[in-house]
Amino acid sequence: MLSLTTFGESHGPATGGVIDGLPSGLFIDDAFIRSQLRRRNPEKLPGSTSRDEPDKVQWLSGLLNNKTTGAPLGFIVENKDFRPQDYALLKDIFRPSHADYAVYLKYGVYPMPGGGRASGRETVARVVAGTVAKTLLKKYRVDFLAYVSGIGGICARVDQRSLTSGSIQNALLGCPDPDAAEKMHALIQKTSAERDTLGGTVSCVIRNVPTGLGEPVFDKLQADLAKAMLSIPSVKGFEYGSGFGAAVKKGSEHNDALFSENGNIHTRSNNDGGIQGGISTGNVLCFRVAFKPVPSHGKKQRTVDLRGKPVEIQISGRHDVCIVPRAAVVVESMAALTLADHVLRFNARKH
């Protein structure tokens, strides 16, 4: 019931989107949206691109006195610091592990500079729309807490019960484990000096999720969350609850035992990650997303051009060493869009 359409390329004049299906009367807080976009911005994040974009949102339709009218909500974010000329030497050359070759096979044209629609720049529109979705969910007190849980094999040890937005946003790299964050920072600096890149994981904890969200067969809540996460550039994996760890447990070890307290039913563990049978249970919803290393590293790589001729390239320009710290807010945004859609579906069914 809630849809987002995006447009724009990495090194084009702008990116933007259209959000359809929002109820009327929803207050759009520009300050809140700016705060979320700053989390995605590379400023002051170690290992991030030097590209500096102000990311100012201009609303085109669907708003009156900062409240939604029920019409499609259109917006645009201008690109100010784009340099398509940086890619002149790579013209008609397929960069390894980028979308260049696949785009060429599908559309018959070489992609726009910087990967065009496949670039991480595309996620700006996701964060704007996801923040609007968070606003829709505020009356349910839904609390989104995504954090860096791993970079390059260094894993954080985090007690998710004590997590707060402040403990994440004030932490180095957005990792609430100080010891792990320092090691991650050192690894990013070392890898940058080696002209290489890193991947990692983002974990997400969502509290106060309304019960009953999700459909029992093909639109299970975890299935829609997985699709949302796997649509983010560079994502290679998704798991919720105990995830792949469930495969090595026995049923007697994995089941979430039920008990009743003060008239409310609870579980003693949360291996199911807040979802059973594809439907939210009211438990904390938790999942983890894996990101591959940035493919634009500075070492020499072998590839071919449009004619199939072997070429050796060395990619230069303003690229991230590790995108994971910037990706946490994108993960939250896609989760918010998914949950907001299911809330609207649930309410339509209920009424």
- Here the tokens at position 316 are 């230069």
Annotate 285-310 with b (16+ C-beta within 10 A) or e (fewer). bbbbbbbbbbbbbbeebebeeeeeee
Q: How far is 166 from 137, CA to CA, in rounded Å?
A: 20
Per-residue pLDDT reduced to its tens digit, 175-209: 999 999 999 999 999 999 999 999 999 999 999 99
Ordered by start, the domain boundaries in the chain are 3-350
Q: What is the DSSP string of 315-339?
A: --SS--S--HHHHHHHHHHHHHHHH
CATH architecture of structural domain 3-350: 4-Layer Sandwich (3.60)
Helix residue ranges per DSSP H, 138-169: 165-169
Question: So what's the pLDDT on residue 121?
Answer: 87
Q: What is the DSSP string of 47-61?
A: T---------EEEEE
Question: So what's the pLDDT on residue 52?
Answer: 63
Question: So what's the pLDDT on residue 113?
Answer: 63
Low-confidence ranges of the chain (pLDDT < 70): 42-53, 81-88, 111-115, 317-318
Q: How far is 118 from 135, CA to CA, in rounded Å?
A: 27
Q: Which of 47, 88, 304 is nearest to 196 (CA)?
A: 47
